[in-house]
Amino acid sequence: MIKKDLVIVGGGPAGMAAALAAHESGIQDILLIERDQFLGGILNQCIHPGFGIDYFDEVLTGPEYADRFIKKIGGVKSISVSLCSFVVNLTTDKILTVLRPGKLETIKARALIMATGCRERTREMVHIPGSRPAGVLPAGLAQKLINIEGLLPGKEIVIVGSGDIGLIMARRFLLEGAQVKAVVEIQAASQGLKRNVVQCIEDFNIPILHRHKIAKIHGKERVERVSIVPVDDKGNEIEHTKQHIDCDTVLISVGLIPENELIEMAGVPLDKKTNTPQSRELNTTSIPGLFVCGNAYTIYDIVDAVSRDSHAAGQQAARYLRRGK
């Protein structure tokens, strides 16, 4: 069994900020585990500007923001990084089972910070009926396909929900030559940041239909069209008002879920509505020495807030380790 003073799971902005803060607080034995082949997390696919305004006092793209942290991590000998490493089990006494290329390892952490981020809600979670053709995908996956893989997943797009990722992808598809038929939002107001509504929707004259919902997705092999319907104040469909929009792709942008299955496995009570740890203090859990930060602790609007609060998690872990010595 490998023993470490501090283990951090997740190499996005939360995990990196926590690692650097713990190092600055005097911790000299830190392991940062990341399941992807690069540090940076979701920032690597966010090539649009708008990051770092509060944290760095600059306007950066996602990769530029991540690079600031990656360079700092690379210059700290006390922080070891394990890429392509997937945590498959976690126990109450902070023992992790980690799957790495070609081997399975067990790691005992004196203190543990989970910076595992979040995942997108799916079509099934918002109960969109219809067939199951190709062309229905989360907005974040479409972002990765375009910005990382260089693939255009569709040419005629309807976006369900007005979360920030969906708004940003509406503009991104338009810039790639696709046609964005509509953004369909069940609420009376857009759910993303005001700047994204203005810069991504209004500036490009993309139709956004408030108080509407997708009544059905049509298509056999590939999406062919969607049925949309307006709803009343209670979210109920207004009868005899259904319309159809021809499209080949439906993006789902209806919110995020913190990735906390590992801490649940370890016995940490979670809030059933938010999938976040039940705690009275920022970044803490019911298990002493086990901390959660970033979007795994709560869903943040901007990455600058993630970095700030995750920096606090690194300091909290350092204080815990000092008390234990």
The residue segments making up the domain with residue 73 are 2-119+256-324
Distance CA 313, CA 30 (A): 14
106 shares a domain with 126: no
- 281 by Cβ neighbours in 10 Å (0-12 / 13-18 / 19+) ranks as exposed
Of 188, 221, 252, which residue constitutes the final position of a domain? 252
What letter would DSSP give residue 277? B
133 shares a domain with 72: no
Q: What is the CATH number of the domain that holds 305?
A: 3.50.50.60
Reported pTM: 0.94
CB 19 within 8 A of CB 39: no
What letter would DSSP give residue 199? I
Q: What is the pLDDT of residue 325?
A: 57
Of 252, 286, 310, which residue constitutes the final position of a domain? 252
How would you write the pLDDT of the chain (325 residues) with one tens digit per residue? Answer: 999 999 999 999 999 999 999 999 999 999 999 999 999 999 999 999 999 999 999 999 999 999 999 999 999 999 999 999 999 999 999 999 999 999 999 999 999 999 999 999 999 998 999 999 999 999 999 999 999 999 999 999 999 999 999 999 999 999 999 999 999 999 999 999 999 999 999 999 999 999 999 999 999 999 999 999 999 998 889 988 999 999 999 999 999 999 999 999 999 999 999 999 999 899 999 999 999 999 999 999 999 999 999 999 999 999 999 998 5
Query: Which amino acid, 119?
Result: R
217 shares a domain with 162: yes
248 shares a domain with 260: no
End-to-end C-alpha distance for the chain, whole angstroms: 21
283 shares a domain with 210: no
106 shares a domain with 148: no
Query: Number of folded domains in the chain?
Result: 2
Distance CA 182, CA 50 (A): 24
86 shares a domain with 35: yes
201 shares a domain with 246: yes
146 shares a domain with 88: no
Of 252, 270, 305, which residue constitutes the final position of a domain? 252
